Protein backbone atom coordinates (compact mmCIF):
# COMPACT_ATOMS: atom_id res chain seq x y z
CA UNK A 1 0.00 0.00 0.00
CA UNK A 2 1.47 3.36 -0.98
CA UNK A 3 0.86 6.66 0.81
CA UNK A 4 2.63 9.47 -1.11
CA UNK A 5 4.39 12.04 1.05
CA UNK A 6 3.27 15.17 -0.80
CA UNK A 7 -0.47 14.73 -0.15
CA UNK A 8 -2.95 15.31 2.68
CA UNK A 9 -5.47 12.65 3.65
CA UNK A 10 -8.99 12.35 5.04
CA UNK A 11 -9.96 9.61 7.49
CA UNK A 12 -12.53 8.56 4.89
CA UNK A 13 -9.69 7.63 2.48
CA UNK A 14 -9.65 10.60 0.11
CA UNK A 15 -6.40 12.39 -0.72
CA UNK A 16 -5.86 16.09 -1.48
CA UNK A 17 -3.08 17.66 -3.51
CA UNK A 18 -2.68 21.41 -2.99
CA UNK A 19 -1.29 23.48 -5.81
CA UNK A 20 -1.58 27.21 -5.13
CA UNK A 21 -5.34 27.95 -5.17
CA UNK A 22 -6.34 24.59 -6.65
CA UNK A 23 -6.83 21.27 -4.87
CA UNK A 24 -7.00 17.91 -6.63
CA UNK A 25 -8.93 15.11 -4.92
CA UNK A 26 -8.81 11.35 -5.37
CA UNK A 27 -9.15 8.16 -3.35
CA UNK A 28 -6.23 6.37 -1.72
CA UNK A 29 -4.58 3.14 -2.76
CA UNK A 30 -6.14 1.48 0.28
CA UNK A 31 -9.61 2.72 -0.76
CA UNK A 32 -9.31 1.51 -4.34
CA UNK A 33 -8.16 -1.91 -3.12
CA UNK A 34 -11.11 -2.17 -0.75
CA UNK A 35 -13.56 -1.16 -3.48
CA UNK A 36 -11.91 -3.48 -6.04
CA UNK A 37 -12.72 -3.11 -9.74
CA UNK A 38 -14.27 0.34 -10.26
CA UNK A 39 -16.83 0.31 -13.07
CA UNK A 40 -18.60 3.67 -12.73
CA UNK A 41 -17.73 7.06 -11.23
CA UNK A 42 -20.24 9.84 -10.66
CA UNK A 43 -18.53 13.23 -10.36
CA UNK A 44 -19.71 16.70 -9.37
CA UNK A 45 -20.39 19.39 -11.98
CA UNK A 46 -18.04 22.40 -12.18
CA UNK A 47 -19.45 25.37 -10.28
CA UNK A 48 -20.95 23.28 -7.48
CA UNK A 49 -20.15 24.67 -4.03
CA UNK A 50 -19.52 22.10 -1.33
CA UNK A 51 -18.75 21.97 2.36
CA UNK A 52 -16.04 19.80 3.88
CA UNK A 53 -17.38 16.32 4.67
CA UNK A 54 -20.25 16.53 2.16
CA UNK A 55 -20.90 13.62 -0.21
CA UNK A 56 -19.48 14.89 -3.49
CA UNK A 57 -19.00 11.85 -5.71
CA UNK A 58 -19.83 8.15 -5.95
CA UNK A 59 -17.45 5.39 -6.95
CA UNK A 60 -19.09 2.11 -7.94
CA UNK A 61 -17.49 -1.30 -8.15
CA UNK A 62 -19.29 -4.45 -9.29
CA UNK A 63 -20.19 -5.10 -5.66
CA UNK A 64 -21.28 -1.73 -4.30
CA UNK A 65 -21.66 2.03 -4.59
CA UNK A 66 -19.41 4.03 -2.23
CA UNK A 67 -19.78 7.68 -1.27
CA UNK A 68 -16.81 10.01 -1.62
CA UNK A 69 -16.61 12.96 0.77
CA UNK A 70 -15.16 16.40 0.10
CA UNK A 71 -11.94 16.65 2.16
CA UNK A 72 -12.27 20.47 2.17
CA UNK A 73 -14.98 22.98 1.30
CA UNK A 74 -14.84 24.96 -1.92
CA UNK A 75 -16.07 25.29 -5.48
CA UNK A 76 -15.70 22.45 -7.99
CA UNK A 77 -13.58 23.54 -10.96
CA UNK A 78 -13.13 20.37 -12.96
CA UNK A 79 -14.14 16.71 -12.98
CA UNK A 80 -11.73 14.14 -14.42
CA UNK A 81 -13.08 13.61 -17.95
CA UNK A 82 -11.09 10.39 -18.46
CA UNK A 83 -13.08 8.43 -15.87
CA UNK A 84 -16.32 8.19 -17.84
CA UNK A 85 -14.69 6.01 -20.48
CA UNK A 86 -12.05 4.41 -18.22
CA UNK A 87 -13.21 4.23 -14.58
CA UNK A 88 -10.54 1.56 -13.95
CA UNK A 89 -7.97 4.40 -13.80
CA UNK A 90 -9.08 4.82 -10.19
CA UNK A 91 -7.67 1.34 -9.49
CA UNK A 92 -4.62 1.52 -11.68
CA UNK A 93 -3.43 5.05 -10.85
CA UNK A 94 -5.24 6.21 -7.71
CA UNK A 95 -2.77 9.08 -7.15
CA UNK A 96 -2.25 9.91 -10.84
CA UNK A 97 -4.59 9.69 -13.84
CA UNK A 98 -7.30 8.30 -11.56
CA UNK A 99 -7.90 11.63 -9.77
CA UNK A 100 -11.58 12.52 -9.32
CA UNK A 101 -12.04 16.30 -9.33
CA UNK A 102 -10.38 19.67 -8.71
CA UNK A 103 -11.75 22.40 -6.55
CA UNK A 104 -10.90 25.91 -5.37
CA UNK A 105 -10.75 25.61 -1.57
CA UNK A 106 -12.61 28.14 0.62
CA UNK A 107 -9.65 28.30 3.00
CA UNK A 108 -6.05 28.72 1.94
CA UNK A 109 -4.98 26.27 4.68
CA UNK A 110 -7.06 23.09 4.95
CA UNK A 111 -7.92 21.86 8.45
CA UNK A 112 -8.88 18.50 9.83
CA UNK A 113 -6.79 16.46 7.38
CA UNK A 114 -4.12 13.89 8.16
CA UNK A 115 -0.43 13.88 7.31
CA UNK A 116 0.82 10.89 5.27
CA UNK A 117 2.29 9.24 8.36
CA UNK A 118 -0.86 9.83 10.44
CA UNK A 119 -3.05 8.45 7.64
CA UNK A 120 -0.82 5.38 7.31
CA UNK A 121 -1.39 4.54 10.98
CA UNK A 122 -5.16 4.32 10.34
CA UNK A 123 -4.69 1.52 7.81
CA UNK A 124 -4.72 -2.18 8.66
CA UNK A 125 -1.22 -3.64 8.75
CA UNK B 1 -22.34 -11.61 20.18
CA UNK B 2 -22.51 -14.63 17.92
CA UNK B 3 -19.15 -15.52 16.42
CA UNK B 4 -18.69 -16.16 12.73
CA UNK B 5 -18.30 -19.72 11.53
CA UNK B 6 -15.10 -20.68 9.74
CA UNK B 7 -15.19 -22.70 6.56
CA UNK B 8 -13.34 -26.03 6.58
CA UNK B 9 -11.49 -24.53 3.59
CA UNK B 10 -10.33 -21.47 5.58
CA UNK B 11 -6.64 -22.55 5.59
CA UNK B 12 -6.79 -22.85 1.76
CA UNK B 13 -8.25 -19.34 1.46
CA UNK B 14 -5.60 -17.95 3.75
CA UNK B 15 -2.83 -19.59 1.73
CA UNK B 16 -4.32 -18.09 -1.44
CA UNK B 17 -4.41 -14.60 0.08
CA UNK B 18 -8.20 -14.26 -0.17
CA UNK B 19 -10.02 -11.21 1.09
CA UNK B 20 -12.44 -12.49 3.74
CA UNK B 21 -15.78 -10.91 4.65
CA UNK B 22 -18.65 -11.89 6.95
CA UNK B 23 -21.56 -13.46 5.03
CA UNK B 24 -24.66 -15.12 6.49
CA UNK B 25 -22.88 -15.88 9.77
CA UNK B 26 -19.69 -17.11 8.10
CA UNK B 27 -16.25 -15.77 7.32
CA UNK B 28 -15.94 -16.35 3.58
CA UNK B 29 -13.70 -15.22 0.70
CA UNK B 30 -15.18 -12.35 -1.33
CA UNK B 31 -12.33 -12.37 -3.82
CA UNK B 32 -8.83 -13.73 -4.46
CA UNK B 33 -7.31 -12.19 -7.61
CA UNK B 34 -10.23 -9.80 -8.15
CA UNK B 35 -13.92 -10.03 -8.89
CA UNK B 36 -13.69 -9.23 -12.62
CA UNK B 37 -10.85 -11.69 -13.27
CA UNK B 38 -12.72 -14.42 -11.38
CA UNK B 39 -15.98 -13.68 -13.19
CA UNK B 40 -14.22 -13.86 -16.54
CA UNK B 41 -12.35 -17.05 -15.65
CA UNK B 42 -15.65 -18.78 -14.82
CA UNK B 43 -17.29 -17.67 -18.08
CA UNK B 44 -14.29 -18.51 -20.27
CA UNK B 45 -12.42 -21.29 -18.45
CA UNK B 46 -13.31 -22.37 -14.91
CA UNK B 47 -13.78 -21.11 -11.35
CA UNK B 48 -13.71 -22.91 -8.00
CA UNK B 49 -16.00 -21.62 -5.23
CA UNK B 50 -16.21 -22.53 -1.55
CA UNK B 51 -19.84 -23.38 -0.80
CA UNK B 52 -19.23 -25.00 2.59
CA UNK B 53 -21.54 -22.41 4.17
CA UNK B 54 -24.48 -23.86 2.26
CA UNK B 55 -26.43 -26.29 4.38
CA UNK B 56 -26.30 -29.98 3.51
CA UNK B 57 -29.31 -31.63 5.12
CA UNK B 58 -29.83 -35.36 4.72
CA UNK B 59 -33.33 -36.86 4.94
CA UNK B 60 -33.22 -40.61 5.47
CA UNK B 61 -35.69 -43.37 6.20
CA UNK B 62 -38.69 -45.08 4.67
CA UNK B 63 -40.78 -42.01 5.53
CA UNK B 64 -38.34 -39.52 3.98
CA UNK B 65 -40.14 -39.12 0.67
CA UNK B 66 -43.55 -38.65 2.28
CA UNK B 67 -42.14 -36.09 4.72
CA UNK B 68 -40.53 -34.10 1.91
CA UNK B 69 -43.68 -34.32 -0.21
CA UNK B 70 -45.65 -32.76 2.61
CA UNK B 71 -43.29 -29.76 2.81
CA UNK B 72 -41.69 -28.96 -0.55
CA UNK B 73 -43.33 -27.05 -3.40
CA UNK B 74 -41.76 -28.99 -6.27
CA UNK B 75 -42.83 -32.64 -6.21
CA UNK B 76 -40.06 -34.83 -4.75
CA UNK B 77 -41.86 -37.91 -6.09
CA UNK B 78 -40.85 -36.87 -9.63
CA UNK B 79 -37.18 -37.53 -8.90
CA UNK B 80 -35.48 -40.78 -9.84
CA UNK B 81 -32.41 -42.15 -8.04
CA UNK B 82 -29.42 -39.90 -8.68
CA UNK B 83 -31.50 -36.95 -9.85
CA UNK B 84 -31.96 -33.46 -8.38
CA UNK B 85 -34.25 -30.49 -8.87
CA UNK B 86 -34.83 -26.92 -7.66
CA UNK B 87 -37.51 -26.59 -5.00
CA UNK B 88 -38.89 -24.39 -2.22
CA UNK B 89 -39.82 -24.52 1.40
CA UNK B 90 -42.79 -22.14 1.70
CA UNK B 91 -44.79 -20.61 4.53
CA UNK B 92 -48.59 -20.85 4.69
CA UNK B 93 -48.88 -17.61 2.71
CA UNK B 94 -46.83 -19.13 -0.13
CA UNK B 95 -43.84 -16.95 0.75
CA UNK B 96 -40.34 -18.36 0.39
CA UNK B 97 -38.69 -19.60 3.57
CA UNK B 98 -35.90 -21.04 1.45
CA UNK B 99 -35.09 -22.03 -2.09
CA UNK B 100 -33.03 -25.19 -2.31
CA UNK B 101 -31.82 -28.09 -4.39
CA UNK B 102 -33.22 -31.51 -3.55
CA UNK B 103 -31.31 -34.62 -4.68
CA UNK B 104 -32.64 -38.16 -4.49
CA UNK B 105 -29.66 -40.37 -3.65
CA UNK B 106 -31.86 -43.44 -3.12
CA UNK B 107 -35.49 -44.26 -2.41
CA UNK B 108 -34.95 -43.60 1.30
CA UNK B 109 -32.09 -41.11 1.12
CA UNK B 110 -32.33 -37.45 0.06
CA UNK B 111 -29.93 -34.50 0.20
CA UNK B 112 -31.19 -30.93 0.53
CA UNK B 113 -28.71 -28.14 -0.24
CA UNK B 114 -29.99 -24.96 1.37
CA UNK B 115 -28.97 -21.34 1.92
CA UNK B 116 -26.64 -20.64 4.83
CA UNK B 117 -28.84 -17.83 6.12
CA UNK B 118 -31.91 -20.13 6.27
CA UNK B 119 -30.26 -23.37 7.36
CA UNK B 120 -31.36 -23.28 11.02
CA UNK B 121 -34.88 -22.20 10.06
CA UNK B 122 -35.09 -24.98 7.46
CA UNK B 123 -34.15 -27.59 10.07
CA UNK B 124 -36.85 -26.24 12.34
CA UNK B 125 -39.49 -26.48 9.61
CA UNK B 126 -38.32 -29.94 8.53
CA UNK B 127 -38.49 -31.16 12.14
CA UNK B 128 -42.26 -30.60 12.03
CA UNK B 129 -42.41 -33.56 9.66
CA UNK B 130 -40.05 -35.70 11.74
CA UNK B 131 -41.34 -39.12 12.83
CA UNK B 132 -39.90 -42.58 13.48
CA UNK B 133 -39.68 -43.23 9.73
CA UNK B 134 -37.51 -40.21 8.83
CA UNK B 135 -34.47 -38.48 10.26
CA UNK B 136 -33.07 -35.11 9.25
CA UNK B 137 -29.36 -34.55 9.90
CA UNK B 138 -26.85 -31.88 8.93
CA UNK B 139 -26.34 -28.88 11.17
CA UNK B 140 -24.41 -25.78 9.99
CA UNK B 141 -20.67 -26.37 9.70
CA UNK B 142 -20.89 -30.16 9.56
CA UNK B 143 -19.78 -30.64 5.93
CA UNK B 144 -17.63 -29.18 3.18
CA UNK B 145 -18.79 -28.11 -0.26
CA UNK B 146 -17.32 -26.51 -3.34
CA UNK B 147 -18.52 -25.60 -6.83
CA UNK B 148 -16.40 -26.09 -9.93
CA UNK B 149 -18.00 -24.02 -12.69
CA UNK B 150 -17.22 -23.02 -16.24
CA UNK B 151 -16.71 -24.50 -19.71
CA UNK B 152 -13.49 -26.24 -18.70
CA UNK B 153 -14.91 -27.77 -15.52
CA UNK B 154 -15.72 -31.16 -17.15
CA UNK B 155 -12.10 -31.44 -18.36
CA UNK B 156 -10.76 -30.63 -14.91
CA UNK B 157 -13.11 -32.95 -13.07
CA UNK B 158 -12.45 -35.79 -15.52
CA UNK B 159 -8.73 -35.64 -14.73
CA UNK B 160 -9.51 -36.31 -11.06
CA UNK B 161 -12.20 -38.90 -11.73
CA UNK B 162 -10.01 -40.91 -14.09
CA UNK B 163 -7.47 -41.44 -11.33
CA UNK B 164 -9.91 -43.91 -9.75
CA UNK B 165 -10.95 -46.92 -11.84
CA UNK B 166 -14.26 -47.40 -10.03
CA UNK B 167 -15.66 -43.93 -10.72
CA UNK B 168 -18.62 -43.41 -13.03
CA UNK B 169 -18.22 -40.73 -15.73
CA UNK B 170 -18.94 -37.16 -14.56
CA UNK B 171 -22.65 -36.71 -13.89
CA UNK B 172 -25.06 -35.37 -16.52
CA UNK B 173 -26.92 -32.12 -15.80
CA UNK B 174 -28.96 -32.19 -12.58
CA UNK B 175 -27.68 -35.64 -11.71
CA UNK B 176 -25.67 -36.65 -8.65
CA UNK B 177 -23.47 -39.66 -7.87
CA UNK B 178 -20.88 -40.88 -5.42
CA UNK B 179 -17.24 -40.53 -6.52
CA UNK B 180 -13.82 -41.06 -5.09
CA UNK B 181 -11.51 -38.13 -5.82
CA UNK B 182 -8.16 -37.19 -4.31
CA UNK B 183 -8.47 -40.25 -2.08
CA UNK B 184 -11.79 -39.16 -0.54
CA UNK B 185 -15.47 -39.92 -1.04
CA UNK B 186 -17.64 -37.12 -2.37
CA UNK B 187 -21.07 -36.62 -3.83
CA UNK B 188 -20.77 -34.77 -7.13
CA UNK B 189 -23.76 -33.11 -8.78
CA UNK B 190 -23.90 -31.41 -12.17
CA UNK B 191 -25.51 -28.27 -10.83
CA UNK B 192 -24.45 -24.72 -10.05
CA UNK B 193 -25.27 -21.06 -9.62
CA UNK B 194 -23.34 -19.41 -12.44
CA UNK B 195 -25.21 -20.27 -15.65
CA UNK B 196 -22.22 -22.30 -16.82
CA UNK B 197 -21.73 -25.99 -17.12
CA UNK B 198 -20.32 -27.17 -13.80
CA UNK B 199 -20.37 -29.31 -10.71
CA UNK B 200 -21.04 -29.07 -7.01
CA UNK B 201 -19.01 -31.31 -4.77
CA UNK B 202 -20.23 -32.29 -1.32
CA UNK B 203 -17.94 -34.01 1.11
CA UNK B 204 -16.93 -34.30 4.77
CA UNK B 205 -14.90 -31.75 6.70
CA UNK B 206 -11.44 -33.40 6.52
CA UNK B 207 -11.80 -34.15 2.78
CA UNK B 208 -12.73 -30.54 1.95
CA UNK B 209 -9.25 -28.96 1.80
CA UNK B 210 -7.74 -32.05 0.14
CA UNK B 211 -10.26 -32.03 -2.71
CA UNK B 212 -10.10 -28.21 -3.03
CA UNK B 213 -6.33 -28.30 -3.46
CA UNK B 214 -6.51 -31.27 -5.85
CA UNK B 215 -8.99 -29.45 -8.08
CA UNK B 216 -6.86 -26.28 -8.12
CA UNK B 217 -3.83 -28.39 -9.03
CA UNK B 218 -5.71 -30.29 -11.77
CA UNK B 219 -7.00 -26.99 -13.20
CA UNK B 220 -3.64 -25.23 -13.30
CA UNK B 221 -3.25 -25.81 -17.04
CA UNK B 222 -6.90 -24.87 -17.69
CA UNK B 223 -6.85 -21.28 -16.37
CA UNK B 224 -8.91 -22.27 -13.32
CA UNK B 225 -9.16 -19.54 -10.67
CA UNK B 226 -10.43 -19.75 -7.09
CA UNK B 227 -13.47 -17.46 -6.95
CA UNK B 228 -15.15 -15.57 -4.13
CA UNK B 229 -18.64 -14.46 -3.21
CA UNK B 230 -18.25 -11.31 -5.31
CA UNK B 231 -18.10 -13.08 -8.64
CA UNK B 232 -20.57 -15.71 -7.44
CA UNK B 233 -23.15 -12.91 -7.14
CA UNK B 234 -22.43 -11.24 -10.49
CA UNK B 235 -22.39 -14.63 -12.26
CA UNK B 236 -25.70 -15.76 -10.81
CA UNK B 237 -27.42 -12.51 -11.68
CA UNK B 238 -26.25 -12.65 -15.31
CA UNK B 239 -27.86 -16.09 -15.43
CA UNK B 240 -31.06 -14.66 -13.90
CA UNK B 241 -30.87 -16.82 -10.77
CA UNK B 242 -32.55 -15.40 -7.65
CA UNK B 243 -30.81 -14.75 -4.33
CA UNK B 244 -32.74 -15.54 -1.18
CA UNK B 245 -33.00 -12.45 1.04
CA UNK B 246 -33.01 -10.16 -2.01
CA UNK B 247 -35.15 -11.57 -4.83
CA UNK B 248 -36.87 -14.09 -2.58
CA UNK B 249 -38.28 -13.60 0.89
CA UNK B 250 -41.13 -14.84 3.11
CA UNK B 251 -43.21 -11.99 1.59
CA UNK B 252 -42.70 -13.14 -2.02
CA UNK B 253 -44.13 -16.28 -3.60
CA UNK B 254 -42.18 -18.28 -6.21
CA UNK B 255 -44.89 -17.40 -8.75
CA UNK B 256 -44.39 -13.67 -8.13
CA UNK B 257 -40.64 -14.25 -8.44
CA UNK B 258 -41.24 -15.79 -11.88
CA UNK B 259 -40.33 -19.29 -10.71
CA UNK B 260 -43.74 -20.93 -11.12
CA UNK B 261 -42.13 -23.55 -13.36
CA UNK B 262 -40.69 -25.16 -10.24
CA UNK B 263 -44.03 -25.43 -8.43
CA UNK B 264 -45.96 -28.62 -8.99
CA UNK B 265 -49.70 -28.15 -8.48
CA UNK B 266 -50.75 -31.27 -10.35
CA UNK B 267 -50.00 -33.67 -7.50
CA UNK B 268 -52.73 -34.57 -5.04
CA UNK B 269 -50.93 -33.87 -1.75
CA UNK B 270 -51.13 -30.54 0.06
CA UNK B 271 -48.02 -28.55 0.95
CA UNK B 272 -47.61 -25.20 2.74
CA UNK B 273 -48.79 -22.23 0.68
CA UNK B 274 -50.53 -24.34 -1.95
CA UNK B 275 -53.91 -22.62 -1.49
CA UNK B 276 -52.27 -19.24 -2.17
CA UNK B 277 -50.25 -20.44 -5.15
CA UNK B 278 -53.13 -22.14 -6.98
CA UNK B 279 -55.08 -18.95 -7.78
CA UNK B 280 -51.80 -17.10 -8.51
CA UNK B 281 -50.76 -19.71 -11.03
CA UNK B 282 -54.20 -19.75 -12.64
CA UNK B 283 -55.01 -16.03 -12.69
CA UNK B 284 -51.61 -14.41 -12.31
CA UNK B 285 -50.26 -12.62 -9.26
CA UNK B 286 -50.49 -8.90 -8.48
CA UNK B 287 -46.69 -8.63 -8.75
CA UNK B 288 -44.14 -10.22 -11.00
CA UNK B 289 -40.37 -10.32 -11.50
CA UNK B 290 -38.90 -8.76 -14.66
CA UNK B 291 -35.40 -8.31 -16.00
CA UNK B 292 -33.95 -4.86 -16.66
CA UNK B 293 -30.95 -3.90 -18.72
CA UNK B 294 -29.17 -0.56 -18.74
CA UNK B 295 -26.63 1.04 -21.03
CA UNK B 296 -22.85 1.33 -20.80
CA UNK B 297 -21.68 4.45 -18.94
CA UNK B 298 -24.83 4.70 -16.80
CA UNK B 299 -24.89 4.18 -13.03
CA UNK B 300 -25.52 0.49 -12.31
CA UNK B 301 -28.86 -0.63 -10.86
CA UNK B 302 -28.76 -1.88 -7.26
CA UNK B 303 -30.95 -3.65 -4.71
CA UNK B 304 -33.78 -1.45 -3.39
CA UNK B 305 -33.71 1.28 -6.08
CA UNK B 306 -37.28 2.25 -7.07
CA UNK B 307 -38.48 1.51 -10.63
CA UNK B 308 -40.69 3.90 -12.61
CA UNK B 309 -42.84 3.69 -15.72
CA UNK B 310 -43.25 7.35 -16.64
CA UNK B 311 -44.22 9.08 -13.40
CA UNK B 312 -45.64 5.98 -11.79
CA UNK B 313 -43.55 3.93 -9.39
CA UNK B 314 -44.24 0.32 -10.40
CA UNK B 315 -41.81 -1.56 -8.18
CA UNK B 316 -38.35 -2.00 -6.84
CA UNK B 317 -35.07 -3.54 -7.95
CA UNK B 318 -34.40 -6.71 -5.95
CA UNK B 319 -30.90 -7.42 -7.36
CA UNK B 320 -28.74 -5.31 -9.61
CA UNK B 321 -25.15 -5.32 -10.81
CA UNK B 322 -22.96 -3.85 -13.52
CA UNK B 323 -22.65 -6.97 -15.67
CA UNK B 324 -18.98 -7.82 -16.24
CA UNK B 325 -19.85 -9.87 -19.33
CA UNK B 326 -22.19 -7.37 -20.97
CA UNK B 327 -20.63 -4.08 -19.85
CA UNK B 328 -23.91 -2.53 -18.71
CA UNK B 329 -26.20 -2.74 -15.72
CA UNK B 330 -28.59 -5.67 -15.29
CA UNK B 331 -31.25 -6.16 -12.65
CA UNK B 332 -34.20 -8.16 -11.43
CA UNK B 333 -37.16 -6.08 -10.30
CA UNK B 334 -40.42 -6.92 -8.58
CA UNK B 335 -43.16 -4.84 -10.24
CA UNK B 336 -46.95 -4.62 -10.18
CA UNK B 337 -48.93 -6.38 -12.91
CA UNK B 338 -49.74 -6.02 -15.72
CA UNK B 339 -45.98 -5.75 -16.13
CA UNK B 340 -44.40 -3.92 -19.06
CA UNK B 341 -43.24 -6.29 -21.77
CA UNK B 342 -39.72 -6.93 -23.06
CA UNK B 343 -38.16 -3.99 -24.84
CA UNK B 344 -40.29 -1.35 -23.08
CA UNK B 345 -38.57 1.66 -21.52
CA UNK B 346 -38.53 2.12 -17.75
CA UNK B 347 -36.37 4.11 -15.34
CA UNK B 348 -34.86 3.53 -11.96
CA UNK B 349 -33.92 6.23 -9.50
CA UNK B 350 -30.50 6.64 -7.91
CA UNK B 351 -29.14 9.65 -6.01
CA UNK B 352 -32.13 11.73 -7.07
CA UNK B 353 -31.67 11.03 -10.76
CA UNK B 354 -33.57 8.84 -13.21
CA UNK B 355 -31.66 6.30 -15.26
CA UNK B 356 -33.21 4.66 -18.36
CA UNK B 357 -33.46 0.86 -18.60
CA UNK B 358 -35.24 -1.57 -20.90
CA UNK B 359 -37.29 -4.57 -19.86
CA UNK B 360 -35.34 -7.70 -20.73
CA UNK B 361 -35.62 -11.46 -20.38
CA UNK B 362 -34.45 -12.42 -16.91
CA UNK B 363 -31.69 -14.55 -18.31
CA UNK B 364 -29.14 -11.96 -19.45
CA UNK B 365 -26.61 -14.32 -21.00
CA UNK B 366 -27.36 -17.15 -23.47
CA UNK B 367 -28.36 -20.47 -21.97
CA UNK B 368 -25.55 -23.03 -22.01
Q: What is the DSSP letter of B260?
A: G
pLDDT in tens, A29-59: 999 998 888 999 999 999 999 999 999 999 9
Do the Cβ atoms of B79 and B69 come closer than 8 Å? no
Per the CB < 8 Å rule, is B230 touching A65? no
Closest approach of A39 to chain B, Cα-based (Å):
7
Query: Number of CB pairs < 8 Å for A and B?
Result: 42
User: Cβ(B159)–Cβ(B206) under 8 Å?
Assistant: no
More confident residue, A110 or B239: B239
From chain A, pick out residues whose CB is under 8 angstroms from the CB of B300. 39-40, 60, 65
Using CA atoms, how far apart are residues A15 and A95, in angstroms rounded to an integer?
A: 8
**Inter-chain CB proximity B234 and A62 less than 8 Å:** yes
A112 pLDDT more than 70: yes
Indicate the pLDDT class of residue B1, thresholds 50, 70 and 90: very low
Say how far apart CA B313 and CA B332 lie, in whole Å. Answer: 15
The average pLDDT across B246-252 equals 98
Res A110: pLDDT:
87
Contact A63 B233 (CB under 8 A): yes
**Whole-number Cα distances in Å, B3 to A48, B27, B50:** 46, 10, 20
pLDDT tens digits, residue range B153-167?
Answer: 999 999 999 888 888
According to CATH, where is 3.30.1360.120 located in chain B? 5-53+141-238
In the predicted structure, residue A9 carries a pLDDT above the cut 80: yes
Question: Where does the pLDDT of residue B237 fall: very low under 50, low under 70, confident under 90, or very high at 90 and above?
Answer: very high
pLDDT tier at B2, thresholds 50, 70, 90? low
Enumerate chain A positions whose Cβ falls within 8 A of a Cβ in B.
36-37, 39-40, 42, 58, 60-65, 84-85
CATH fold, domain B5-53+141-238, is Gyrase A; domain 2 (3.30.1360)
B243 at the A interface (CB within 8 A)?
Answer: no
Chain Cα centroid distance, residue B156: 22
| Per-residue confidence (pLDDT) for residue B3, from 0 to 100 | 86
Range name among A85-94, B163-172, B253-262 with the lowest pLDDT average: B163-172
Mutate to test the interface with A, among B23, B33, B35 (most CBs of A within 10 A): B35
CATH architecture of B286-360: Beta Barrel (2.40)
Residue A40 Cα, gap to closest chain B Cα (Å): 6
Give A102's contacts (C-beta < 8 A, 6+ positions apart). Answer: A22, A23, A24, A25, A76, A77, A78
What per-residue string of b and e applies to B265-296 under the rule 16 or more CB within 10 Å gives b?
eeeeeebbbbebbeebeeeebebbbbbbbbee
Average pLDDT over residues A86-99: 97
All CATH 2.40.30.110 domain ranges in chain B, comma separated: 286-360
Does A84 sit within 8 Å of B36, measured CB to CB?
no
B335-352 average pLDDT score: 96
B111 near B102, Cβ under 8 Å?
yes
Cβ-nearest to B35 among A37, A60, A65? A37
Q: Are B356 and B324 in contact (CB under 8 A)?
A: no
**Coil, strand, or helix at residue B219?**
coil
Q: Residue B38's closest chain A neighbor by CA? A: A37
Say if the Cβ atoms of B35 and A36 lie within 8 Å.
yes
B11 — contact with chain A (CB < 8 Å)?
no
Residue A68 has pLDDT above 90, yes or no: yes
- Is the complex ipTM more than 0.90? no
Mean confidence (pLDDT) of chain B: 96
Closest listed residue to residue B329, CA positions, set B354, B302, B303 = B302
Percent of chain B with pLDDT over 90: 94
Cis ω before B28 (30° cut-off from 0) = no
Predicted confidence band at B201 (pLDDT cuts at 50, 70, 90)? very high
Residue of B28, B24, B10 whose CA lies nearest to B231: B28
Query: What average pLDDT does this structure show over B74-82?
Result: 97
Domains in chain A and their CATH numbers? 8-107 (2.40.50.100)
By Cβ distance, the residue of B31, B35, B322 closest to A60 is B322
Confidence at B235, pLDDT banded by 50, 70, 90: very high
Q: From residue A90, how far is each of A13, A14, A33, A77, B307 by CA, in Å? A: 13, 12, 10, 19, 30
For the stretch B25-62, pLDDT in tens is 999 999 999 999 999 999 999 999 999 999 999 999 99
Write out pLDDT tens, residues B254-295.
Answer: 999 999 999 999 998 899 999 999 999 999 999 999 999 999
Mean pLDDT in residue range B195-219: 98
With H, G, I as helix, E, B as strand and everything else as coil, classify residue B203. Answer: strand
Burial class (CB in 10 A: 0-12, 13-18, 19+), A71: buried
Phi and psi, residue B71, nearest 5°: -120, -30
Give the span between the Cα atoms of B49 and B234, in whole angstroms. 13
Q: What is the enclosing helix (H) or strand (E) of B208?
A: helix B207-218
- Residue from B82, B86, B18 nearest B239 by CA: B86
pLDDT at A96 over 90: yes
Candidates B42, B230, B331, partner chain A, best to mutate (most A CBs within 10 A): B230
Q: Is B16 helix (H, G, I), strand (E, B) or coil?
A: coil
The pLDDT value recorded for residue A52 is: 95
Amino acid sequence: MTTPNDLLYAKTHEWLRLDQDSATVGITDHAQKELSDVVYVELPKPGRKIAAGEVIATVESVKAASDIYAPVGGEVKEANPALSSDPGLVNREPYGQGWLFRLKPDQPKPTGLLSPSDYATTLPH
Amino acid sequence: MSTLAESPLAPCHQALGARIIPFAGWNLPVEYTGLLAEHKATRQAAGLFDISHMGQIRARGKGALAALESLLANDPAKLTDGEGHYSFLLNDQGGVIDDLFLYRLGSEDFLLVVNASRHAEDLKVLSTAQNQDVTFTGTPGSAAGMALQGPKSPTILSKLCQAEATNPTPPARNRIAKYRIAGHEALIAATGYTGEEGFEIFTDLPAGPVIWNAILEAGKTDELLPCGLGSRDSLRLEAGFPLNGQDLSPQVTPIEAGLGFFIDLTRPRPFPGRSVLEPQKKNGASRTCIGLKGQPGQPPPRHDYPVFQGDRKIGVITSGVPSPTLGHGIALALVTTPAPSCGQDLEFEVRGRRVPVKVSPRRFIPKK
